[in-house]
Amino acid sequence: MRTGMFALALGLLSLRFLSALPSVGWLALMAVLGLASLRSRVWPLGCFLLGLSWACWVAQAALDDRLAPELDGRTLWLEGRVVGLPTQGTRSIRFELEEATSRRARLPTRLQLSWFDGPQVNSGERWRLAVILRRPHGLLNPHGPDREATLLARRTGGTGTVKAGILLEPASAAWRDAIRQRVLAVDAQGRETALAALVLGDGGGLPDRDWRTLQATGTVHLLVISGQHIGLLAGLVYALIAGAARLGAWPRKLPWLPWACGLAMGSALAYGLLAGFEVPVQRACLMLAVVLLWRLRFRHLGATFPLLLALVGILLAAPLASLLPGFWLSFAAVAILVYTFSGRLGGWRPWQAWTRAQCVIAVGLLPLLLALGLPISLTAPLANLLAVPWISLLVLPLALLGTLLLPLPMLGAPLLWLAGGLLDGLFQVLSWVADGYPAWVPEQLPIWAWCLVSLGTLLVLLPRGMPLRVPGAVMLLALWAPREHVPEGQAQIWQLDVGQGLAVLLRTRHHTLLYDAGPAQGEVDLGESVVLPSLRKLGVRRLDVMLISHAHADHAGGAGAVQRGLPTTRVLAGEASALPPDMRAQPCTSGERWRWDGVEFSLWRWSDAPTSNERSCVLLVEARGERLLLAGDMEAGAERAWLADTLDPGIDWLQAPHHGSRTSSSELFMAATAPRGVLISRGRYNTFGHPHAEVIDRYRRANLEIHDTALHGALRLQLGAQSEVLGQRTQRRFWREPGRRPLADEPLSLLW
């Protein structure tokens, strides 16, 4: 039985690693072969095929439910009901719409919408909305998050921006939203949004600084309702009944074990219902149900059986859950505890078990965090030693009890005030830890080094006295394995996917330069959320030069966050006086040249430029005769001035000036430079119409290779190796749209 369940689980998990889904015919054949194999000696193979075919079938149904390509970028009037808890930002509100219908087209089952400067939207309301519809899409950078996978796993078939709306029906049975409004209205010493996240799973209202603190200390799981919260509440109920039975306070006519298991499960289901019963909560409740059933009747089957049964049950119900990092982390954490605590001789005192549990989880999750490209908190074991009991024994019971007693203001409000104060005190301690010891973002390991780290982790977690623990610790040194170096005389170029903006990383063998730092506007700073993490994952630990072409927010907005996050030796800028004084930017000087590791760099700036775009600092890079021109936002006037000052204008690669604007990439400039290819950085749904159809036509008539971050993700070029440009979307995954050439009539509307 275990063998069959294990094979079935492997088949279901294999979906995560497919580059493309098999056709309907192949799916039917796999299912038939799987069924036929169940009565033979290769029946585990049959279980594997059945699991894989079911997972692929569900995934294909989710892909078919995506917004049709012909509706991408179109504006339609539609009707639907708001579900979940809308997230209110400073100037926008985000919410999900189900049962969406339109007279003109078939729509996905679920849409994720944003409404800028719109009215209050509440769960359960029915709206008629004018929406600019978009297919699932997201920024795609090296070792970064994949938004398309997340949307598919949540069965969200499209996104959109609301332009206008009419409320058709008020909220009906929106009791969760009503509870949230009451929690947010209570004085909780400034921690109302955190309590809403803890009680209702509404993490969208937490400030970015709190998320950064939780991530740096490895305590994100405490404010995101997950298996831990469900387990903590159920464990508390179970422990109270078990303790009462041990003390003789439990009625003798009632067998305490069935009642403890039943009430623990009931409390978990009630909490899950309060939290919206999303996929992570469903997963947690199913795992808990299996564990309680095992405790009640099937302890003789061993500790691994309930984990395997829960894994198979969850994947059968939601095969796409394997696309979410949280799925892997939650099961891995439980598996590590089972691996570490089962089969030991002798017992541990409670405090020893608690401290060792935190340590083994921190060590055991290391290979998985590396594989997922997630930050690693070095302070997580110590932070969780304090935070977990603080939340589970103090804050969570007070918060739940206070929420239940909100109809009685004299009781509920003081409890929430006390819970908020305790939570605020914890955040102050965690903030102090996070400021002193930020999370480690390791560079991506070579596959051989990752395998060594994984094997070393398993050996280190063996029981004390096992002789293989020491070799395992030695294997962990592969964390510092030598990475691939840029060859002498070459430059590695990464044009990051930052939407409507620009950020280009240039690395020689021993030096690093960042040309522009991505956009920032309002609460969104892609320098902090995209550029800085991408640089760290690529192994950048310092910048020799940060060059800001000009002061527009889509180029300079993220510079402050990058400078705060990485030691920066020198900052150059086309408009140095327009940048914040604390950046200590030096002006870009035409004619300045330098040589790094056999690669030539030279600067140019139009001194008589009339506009900010024309004052862009232009960088020419040459490696072994291959040349790249980073042009910033220079337009036709600056292009003519650059040609007049340049003896040899010929280049191989061109960063599209001004994102492919109509006012740039003039006929004269393109004829004189004669590049082999062009690199476009822009938002897929930008409001400016970049790149302009005339410019794209000009590129095509010149037979240029066109590489576009909006269509291909982040772009990589090895300058000096005469290689091709590679986009992140060349790494095929079944949920990603493959990169395609930019079309002159491509629908354009809003920023990604």
Q: What is the pLDDT of residue 652?
A: 96
Vertex 714, ends 711 and 719: CA angle to 5°? 120
CA distance 388 to 357: 12
Q: Which residues, including other chains, have CB under 8 Å from residue 348's CB and lie 6 or more apart? A: 356
Between 626 and 751, where is the model more confident? Answer: 626
Least confident of 53-57, 328-332, 547-551: 328-332
Q: What is the pLDDT of residue 440?
A: 86
Between 218 and 694, where is the model more confident? Answer: 694
CA distance 35 to 40: 10
Least confident of 303-307, 394-398, 401-405, 591-595: 303-307
**String of DSSP letters for 672-727:** HH--SEEEE---TT-TT-PSPHHHHHHHHHTT-EEEEHHHH-SEEEEETTT---EE
CA distance 374 to 744: 38
CA distance 569 to 586: 11
Handedness of CA 507, 510, 516, 517 (dihedral sign): positive
Question: Which amino acid, one-letter code, is at 592?
Answer: E
Q: What average pLDDT does this structure show over 522-531?
A: 89
Q: What is the pLDDT of residue 715?
A: 97
Q: What is the pLDDT of residue 751?
A: 25
Q: What is the pLDDT of residue 744?
A: 37
Vertex 45, ends 41 and 50: CA angle to 5°? 125
Whether 493 and 716 have beta carbons less than 8 Å apart is answered as yes
Q: What is the pLDDT of residue 12?
A: 95
Helix %, strand %, coil % of the chain (to 5) = 50, 15, 35
CA distance 129 to 140: 29
Closest CA to 364 of 340, 347, 389, 387: 340
Q: What is the pLDDT of residue 350?
A: 60
CA distance 82 to 91: 19
DSSP 445: P
Computed over every residue of the chain, the mean pLDDT equals 88
Query: Which domains are seen in the chain, by residue range?
Result: 2-64 (no CATH), 69-173 (2.40.50.140), 192-270+277-436 (no CATH), 447-480 (no CATH), 491-730 (3.60.15.10)
* β-pair partners for 596: 599
* pLDDT (tens digit per residue) in 175-215: 777 888 888 888 988 888 888 888 887 776 778 788 888 88
Backbone angles phi, psi at 312, to 5 degrees: -65, -45
Beta-strand runs (E) in 206-287: none
pLDDT band of 748, cuts 50, 70, 90: very low
Q: What average pLDDT does this structure show over 463-491?
A: 86
pLDDT band of 335, cuts 50, 70, 90: confident
Pick from 287-291, 424-428, 442-446 the range whose average pLDDT is largest: 424-428
Q: What number of other Cβ atoms are within 10 A of residue 249's Cβ? A: 10
pTM of the predicted model, to two decimals? Answer: 0.87
Residue 691: asked if its preceding bond is cis (omega within 30°), the reply is yes
The secondary element (H helix, E strand) that includes residue 410 is: helix 409-436
Whether 137 and 750 have beta carbons less than 8 Å apart is answered as no
CA atoms within 13 A on the CB side of 123: 17
Whether 643 and 649 have beta carbons less than 8 Å apart is answered as yes
Between 449 and 224, where is the model more confident? Answer: 449
Backbone angles phi, psi at 627, to 5 degrees: -120, 140
Q: Which residues, including other chains, have CB under 8 Å from residue 79's CB and lie 6 or more apart? A: 100, 101, 102, 126, 127, 128, 129, 168
Closest CA to 283 of 331, 323, 236: 331
Pick from 39-43, 311-315, 455-459, 544-548 the range whose average pLDDT is largest: 544-548
CA distance 553 to 525: 10
Looking only at the bridges linking them, the beta strands covering 599-604 and 593-596 are: antiparallel
CA distance 42 to 48: 10
The secondary element (H helix, E strand) that includes residue 92 is: strand 92-101
pLDDT band of 445, cuts 50, 70, 90: confident
* pLDDT (tens digit per residue) in 244-272: 988 888 888 888 888 998 998 998 888 88
* pLDDT (tens digit per residue) in 533-558: 999 999 899 999 999 999 999 999 99
Question: Which amino acid, one-letter code, is at 325?
Answer: P
